[in-house]
Amino acid sequence: MQEIREEDIELEEDTQKGRFLTFSLGKETYGLEIRYVTEIIGIQSITEIPELPEYVRGIINLRGKIIPVMDVRLRFKKEPRDYNDRTCIIVVDIGELSIGLIVDSVSEVLSIDDKDMVEPPKLNKGYQNRYIKNIGKVGTEVKLLLDCEKLLTEIEVEDLKESL
Amino acid sequence: MENTNDSMLDVFLFETEQLIGQLEECILNSERAGGYSEDSVHEIFRIMHTIKGSASMMMYQNIASLAHAMEDLFYYIRDEKPVDLSYIVLTDLILEGIDYIKVEVEKIKNEDDLDGNFSELIHRIEAYLNELKDMTKLKTDCNTENTESSCEGNYYSNDAEEESRGIYQSIIFFEEGCEMENIRAFGLIHHLKPKVNEMFFLPEDIIENDKCTEVIRKDGLQLYFKTWLEEAEVYEFFYQTAFVKMVELNKIEDSIDLYKLYCQNTGKQEVSGNVNLTIEYEEAAKEEQDGKQTLRRENKERTDKESRPANVQQSIISVNVAKLDKLMDLVGEMVIAEAMVVQNSDLKGLVLDNFYKAARQLNKITDEIQDTVMSIRMVPLAATFHKMQRVVRDMCKKLGKEVTLSIQGEDTEVDKNIIEHISDPLMHLVRNALDHGIELPEERMAKGKEAAGTLTLEAKNAGSDVVVIVRDDGKGLSREKIIGKAKENGLLVKGEAEYTDKEVYGLIFLPGFSTKEKVSEFSGRGVGMDVVVKNIEVVGGSVSVDSSADKGSAITLKIPLTLAIIDGMNIKVGEACYTLPTISVKEFFRPMEKDIITDPQGNEIIMVRGQCYPILRLYEVFKVNNAHKSYEEGVIIMIEQEEKTVCIFADELLGQQQVVVKALPEYIRRIRKINGLSGCTLLGDGNISLILDIAGIVNNYF
């Protein structure tokens, strides 16, 4: 089912294929498939909600629509950093879900050909790699391309384990 | 194009579901009345006809042909009025047909393949129809054997050649305890028929009406007849008949017209001449022969008739719920926008008399719009309640129990969304009550109760809530059994003796309580009361249970009237803003340090007018930073929920406002259900406020 939907979207939005929005977290640069992204907004006041994992910072009011925001830094178990005027919220729509991703800063939109992508090395320890779909090469730089769907859906599994 | 198809499909599904509902109710009512009245036969026929028509238009051949078979059956019943109709068989057959159609409609809704095979049922219906036809034919043959005879009601005349010798009135009594007096009377009359010129009898409808048995037993069977037999011969004839105890035979005047006497006795309009009757009779027979032609003609007449009431109902339109939802959302946005304007921070400190006058006017109108939109979405519970009749009937049959369903307050209205959420739990509760609550008739008799149990569905308004009660007069919940089961499943958290009865009954709502020991067709499959509770909680309601041994138990569902907009009291704790439903706020005040008592466990209690209430520090519950910790700086809000009163400690009150309830984002709901929060809302300044779930808080902490 998922595959079919993905295919549909790809056919429709062929121009978006292979294009990634890159953002930085510390010294790494990550890429996000552009078809998921709906908008980028500056940081705004977040209403905290109790009893949630730390990386879910709370909810924001996006023009009358209430969406949750996730701090990607905390999600990847990095040191938290205070938000400043470079901090951005990338609003992504994945399936039915809308969510804001808090990142250090947004860089640019890049095209990366399939041939410039390699699979991440398989490591047994740590789960960080699970969210990296591919590693893209742009010139001499390396971009970590995120698997957006896993970023959201795997939370449930993980969180369930935590709560158990 | 696709769109029109969709809307046509919607209309078809909507109509069919409604018709089926009507049909079901009609059949169940008839069953209760012990037979099909002419009206209900007509109605069933009409409904089947409509379903057939619309199904074949939408190309659902299965439904169409099934409906057609049923229509045929009722066409026959309507026109021929067969006497010895087995209502039980008929009812079962039709209900089965309804179930088939229901399943099929459900499949259409879910866009599943329509693989239902109706041919077997259709065959059975046809077979039953043929059986009926054969039976009636036999009878018709019987009647036609007495050539040149005619009868209307129970008036019978025979153009025999013999000259009549006199008119008799006789009263016949049957032996006591011979039973089935009406059948015996019928037999007697049947045998007398060839021996008389004219006759009629009282009571009239001895076969159809069971009450006649009583009448015959008490007053005897009255016969009026004109015959060529001698008095002695008549006596002899009567005494030959089995079980006849006593015969009174009086000769009455020759000149009297027996037909006139018949008409007087039965209050019927006199029909001039018997010839007419014969013609009518023949016509009926003819009609049966070329049934198909008449069917078509009749159908045309019917459709003409059906279209007429539609004109009357034109003041009602059906609207897609999605549109109403959208309207509701917009009204919600409008309420927020209004707050944004009126409470705009730019206005602070300005003296704006005219502005506030206008704002009040605006407020009045938005309030009214909101009420109207809300009332559009309100649907009476009647349909949901009446669905239960079928459940009760089917279960009673299967379990061999006798239960009367009594429905109260079915006019109570709740939001359409809520109806959808309570119909399943309600069904579950009804099943539980029938399966576990109400005892078998013998058991009930032994306990000195009536053999038939009563299940009451009651709905009523209580403040901003609707209360739905499912009450049975069965054996009630057993404290020992519940405790036993709870112990097995490790659900007890304190000593057995410490539980109050109410707490014990509350245990049945815990997940994992259902033991799956006894799996019956209706309950015990492990989907227990916790599912009911979950469903009700989704719409912000609560469930409670009360019971007393051998008197029965009652389960109460408390559901908010509407989900969308509530009157809220905004409070501030640290940086965060929370909203309480105004309805649960009793009072608020600034506490004095000296009123507060701390018990050895560190729980804080406040004494207000001689009553003690527990205190809940909201910042502790929601782990808010920078909140006031000292009582002198904050405010206490006393809230009441289901007889429990709790004091909440917060920083300050922000004011009262109508708020639009929005669910927390799906993503967060997927992670976990957050205790104490029922949703969120947008404030006038665009900030988000979290709506407190008072019931959740109270039940969690106290």
Looking at the complex, report in whole angstroms how far the Cα of residue A162 sits from the nearest Cα belonging to chain B: 11
- The beta-carbon neighbor of B690 closest among A45, A47, A156 is A47
Look at residue A124 in the predicted model and tell me its pLDDT: 63
> Chain B: residue nearest A155 by CA?
B671
> Chain B: residue nearest A64 by CA?
B682
Q: Give a yes or no: residue A8 inside a domain.
A: no
- The beta-carbon neighbor of B667 closest among A64, A97, A163 is A97
- Between chains, do A49 and B677 touch, taking CB under 8 Å as contact? yes
Q: Which DSSP state fits B31?
A: H
Partners of B622 on chain A (C-beta within 8 Å) are 50
- Between chains, do A156 and B670 touch, taking CB under 8 Å as contact? yes
Partners of A53 on chain B (C-beta within 8 Å) are 671
Q: Tens digit of pLDDT for each residue in A58-99?
A: 999 887 788 999 998 888 888 888 888 889 999 998 877 889
Tell me how far apart the alpha carbons of residues A154 and A83 are, in angstroms, rounded to a whole number.
Answer: 26
Size of interface A-B (CB pairs under 8 A): 70
Domain extent at residue A107 = 19-163
On whether the CB atoms of residues B162 and B228 are closer than 8 A, the answer is yes
Looking at the complex, report in whole angstroms how far the Cα of residue A159 sits from the nearest Cα belonging to chain B: 7
Tell me how far apart the alpha carbons of residues A157 and B671 are, in angstroms, rounded to a whole number.
Answer: 9
Quote the number of domains for chain A.
1
Look at residue A103 in the predicted model and tell me its pLDDT: 92
Look at residue B32 in the predicted model and tell me its pLDDT: 76
- Between chains, do B674 and A49 touch, taking CB under 8 Å as contact? yes
Over the range B32-49, which residues count as b (16 or more CB within 10 Å of their CB) and which as e? eeeebeeebbebbbbbbb
Q: Closest by alpha carbon to A163, among B674, B511, B34, B208?
A: B674
Partners of B672 on chain A (C-beta within 8 Å) are 51-52, 159, 163
Q: Which DSSP state fits A69?
A: E
Looking at the complex, report in whole angstroms how far the Cα of residue A142 sits from the nearest Cα belonging to chain B: 31
Burial class (CB in 10 A: 0-12, 13-18, 19+), B378: middle
Q: Give a yes or no: residue A106 inside a domain.
A: yes
Look at residue A23 in the predicted model and tell me its pLDDT: 92
**If DSSP codes are grouped into helix, strand and coil, which group holds residue B432?**
helix
Q: Tens digit of pLDDT for each residue in A4-59?
A: 555 555 555 567 778 899 998 888 889 988 888 999 998 888 888 888 888 889 99
> Chain A: residue nearest B681 by CA?
A66
Tell me how far apart the alpha carbons of residues B693 and B506 are, in angstroms, rounded to a whole number.
Answer: 20
- The beta-carbon neighbor of A48 closest among B576, B662, B664 is B576
> What's the one-letter identity of residue B151?
C
Q: Give a yes or no: residue A41 inside a domain.
A: yes
- Whether omega for the bond prior to residue A53 falls within 30 degrees of 0, making it cis, is no
Partners of B333 on chain A (C-beta within 8 Å) are 64
Q: Which residues of A touch B (CB under 8 A)?
A: 45, 47-53, 56, 59-61, 64, 66-68, 96-99, 152, 155-156, 159, 163
- The beta-carbon neighbor of B688 closest among A47, A97, A159 is A47
On whether the CB atoms of residues B459 and B410 are closer than 8 A, the answer is yes
On whether the CB atoms of residues B574 and B624 are closer than 8 A, the answer is yes
> Chain B: residue nearest A57 by CA?
B668
- The beta-carbon neighbor of B668 closest among A45, A56, A64 is A56
- Between chains, do B667 and A99 touch, taking CB under 8 Å as contact? yes
**If DSSP codes are grouped into helix, strand and coil, which group holds residue B4?**
helix
- Between chains, do A50 and B621 touch, taking CB under 8 Å as contact? yes
Partners of A67 on chain B (C-beta within 8 Å) are 665
Show the tokens assigned to B132: 């009926």
> Chain A: residue nearest B666 by CA?
A97
CATH no. for residue A59?
Answer: 2.40.50.180
Strand-pair partners of B648: B616, B637
Tell me how far apart the alpha carbons of residues B178 and B184 are, in angstroms, rounded to a whole number.
Answer: 9
Looking at the complex, report in whole angstroms how far the Cα of residue B679 sits from the nearest Cα belonging to chain A: 11
- Between chains, do B671 and A98 touch, taking CB under 8 Å as contact? no
- Between chains, do A68 and B668 touch, taking CB under 8 Å as contact? yes
Size (chain B), residues: 702
Q: Give a yes or no: residue A141 inside a domain.
A: yes
| Distance in Å from the first CA to the final CA of chain A | 30
- Between chains, do A156 and B336 touch, taking CB under 8 Å as contact? no
Please tell me whether the interface predicted TM-score (ipTM) of this complex is above 0.90: no
- Between chains, do A156 and B686 touch, taking CB under 8 Å as contact? no
Q: Closest by alpha carbon to B533, among B553, B558, B552?
A: B558
Please indicate, yes or no, whether the overall pTM of this predicted structure exceeds 0.80: no
Partners of A60 on chain B (C-beta within 8 Å) are 688
Look at residue B296 in the predicted model and tell me its pLDDT: 44
Tell me how far apart the alpha carbons of residues B190 and B183 are, in angstroms, rounded to a whole number.
Answer: 10
- The beta-carbon neighbor of B665 closest among A48, A68, A163 is A68
Partners of A68 on chain B (C-beta within 8 Å) are 665, 667-668
- Between chains, do A51 and B674 touch, taking CB under 8 Å as contact? yes
- Between chains, do B336 and A50 touch, taking CB under 8 Å as contact? no
Tell me how far apart the alpha carbons of residues A151 and A144 are, in angstroms, rounded to a whole number.
Answer: 13
Q: Which residues of B touch A (CB under 8 A)?
A: 333, 336, 576-577, 621-624, 662, 664-668, 670-672, 674-677, 680, 682, 686-690
Partners of A159 on chain B (C-beta within 8 Å) are 671-672
> What's the one-letter identity of residue B140?
T
Q: Give a yes or no: residue A10 inside a domain.
A: no
Mean pLDDT by 10 residues, chain B (702 residues): 60 81 81 77 82 81 81 78 70 81 81 72 80 70 45 56 69 70 69 72 66 70 74 74 72 66 56 42 46 44 43 67 83 81 84 90 89 82 84 84 86 82 84 82 84 87 80 82 77 74 78 55 56 77 81 84 76 90 87 84 86 88 83 88 84 83 80 79 82 80 70
**If DSSP codes are grouped into helix, strand and coil, which group holds residue B637?**
strand
What does the longest C-alpha to C-alpha distance in chain A come to?
A: 45
**If DSSP codes are grouped into helix, strand and coil, which group holds residue B250?**
strand
Q: To 10 degrees, what angle do helices B353-376 and B321-342 make?
A: 160
On whether the CB atoms of residues B477 and B505 are closer than 8 A, the answer is yes
Looking at the complex, report in whole angstroms how far the Cα of residue B643 sits from the nearest Cα belonging to chain A: 27
Q: Closest by alpha carbon to B696, among B637, B655, B658, B644?
A: B644
Look at residue A115 in the predicted model and tell me its pLDDT: 85
- Between chains, do A47 and B576 touch, taking CB under 8 Å as contact? yes
Show the tokens assigned to B661: 């309830």
Looking at the complex, report in whole angstroms how far the Cα of residue B688 sits from the nearest Cα belonging to chain A: 6
Look at residue B138 in the predicted model and tell me its pLDDT: 66
Q: Closest by alpha carbon to B529, among B433, B451, B622?
A: B433
Those residues whose C-beta lies under 8 Å from the C-beta of residue B6, and which sit 6 or more positions away, are none
Which H or E element spans position A109?
A: strand A105-111
**Region class of A116: left (phi > 0), else alpha (psi between -120 and 50), else beta:** alpha
Q: Give a yes or no: residue A61 inside a domain.
A: yes
Q: Give a yes or no: residue A9 inside a domain.
A: no
Alpha-carbon separation of residue B172 from B221, B248, B252, B571 (angstroms): 5, 6, 16, 88
Q: Give a yes or no: residue A135 inside a domain.
A: yes
Q: Closest by alpha carbon to A60, among A41, A73, A75, A79?
A: A41
- Between chains, do A66 and B665 touch, taking CB under 8 Å as contact? yes
